[in-house]
Amino acid sequence: MRSHKSVHISNPETFKNQLLLWSQKFDEVVWLDSNNYTQKYASYDAVLAIEAFTSIQTDYYDAFEQLKVYQSSTKDWLFGYLSYDLKNDVELLSSKNFDGLQFPELCFFQPKKLFFLKGNTLETHYLNFVSDELEDDLKQIESSATSIAYEKVLEQSDIKIKLRVHKDEYFEKVNTVLSHIHRGDIYEANFCQEFYAENTSINPIEIYNNLNQISKPPFATFLRLYDKYLLSASPERYIKKEGRKITSQPIKGTAKRSLNPAEDNQLKKELSEDIKERSENVMIVDLVRNDLSKTATKGSVKVEELCKVYSFDQVHQMMSTIISEINDTTHPVDVLKTTFPMGSMTGAPKISAMKIIEELEVTKRGLYSGAVGYFTPDSDFDFNVVIRSIFYNESEKYVSYSVGGAITAKSDPLKEYEECLLKAKAMREVLEGLGKVKSKK
């Protein structure tokens, strides 16, 4: 069904830039980049999937069952996303808040053309009926740095970022979450807020490149589906399946970086010892263990790493790694369905937290705090968590990014607000710092 070819790439970083630039002439694009970040469970340095041969696009109703049928019948590489609002398919929940982006709630496609980069080796996987286009494509890719006439020329006005929830209202809402915690309704809730710009045109590839350059995260994503774009600098893996092994790596706990090495090490040490941050992380680890146990073989759920601090260009983050094993008969989509949405973006207990979040947040999350990733022909998968991300609806000229934080009994509303601004820093800098943008001819 697919023809494979391996090509030696002398300069992978240059080739990555050329490949992503070339992809901009297609309507369906998923680009995943690990930015050479050292991580135990990495499969590829970068992946590009383009041009849908078949696809599925739906709202939340019966979405996981539809995805199961599509994945089972296709048995090929599938790329796409799960939006946060698929929670309504899993539980008796609803999403009625404002949605300025209008992304479909689930979308996957079977790409005609695939590129996998690992070290100096490029693997191409083309569907047979387009395999004769490979040589021409490689020539175009190599020349794309100098010939980008197909890139859009956009006049970008100065972007005015607005807050959907202002500071005083944010404090009120966090205090409401705290009252739920003190009453015993929940232990923790991930409360999020949206920043947005209307009547705005941006150059998605330039915004993505700048965001990625600032953050260099291990789960960077550029996704395009016609007029809708995701530009993501995510540091977090949601879940991975490799054979019978399932791996989930929730992040909870954030600290700023310092240019002074001694101060930076001190900030990292303080995060690793912070009782509030550790308790946030441990609560989510318990939730993930419970979720994984729904499909795991008996006794196979284990915590491989607990509250380990990893450093990224913008922030230090506290991460845990939980693993399990499943039976050969367990469908991969069932693993997703029983763990979605990821605990790091909901709270605990999960259903109660999601109900409270829906009442207090004023924006529909959509793809934010959902997941982007892929299935392999062998029914393995790998998905990130969609955070640190800019969303763009080109037709509506609407740009958005959201940030959130875990509220626990020890939370201080002011510190939570400051943490949100820290997480939003890269997105705001990229959007406001560009001013007028014109693509070069």
List active site positions: 236, 252
Phi-psi region at 75: left, alpha or beta (left = phi > 0; alpha = psi -120 to 50)? left
Q: How far apart are CA 199 and CA 324, in angstroms?
A: 47
Angle separating helix axes 12-22 and 204-215, nearest 10 degrees: 150
Strand partners, 122: 7, 117
Distances (CA, A) of 121 to 12, 23, 45, 142: 8, 19, 10, 15
Query: What b-and-e string marks burial along 330-358, b requiring 16 or more CB atoms within 10 Å of the CB?
Result: bebbebbbbbbbbbbbbbbbbbbbbbbbb
End-to-end CA distance of the chain: 38
Residue 259 phi/psi, 5-degree rounding, is: -75, -20
Indicate the SS3 state at residue 307.
strand
Residue 41 phi/psi, 5-degree rounding, is: -110, 25
Q: What is the enclosing helix (H) or strand (E) of 403?
A: strand 398-407
Q: How far apart are CA 335 and CA 373, in angstroms?
A: 14
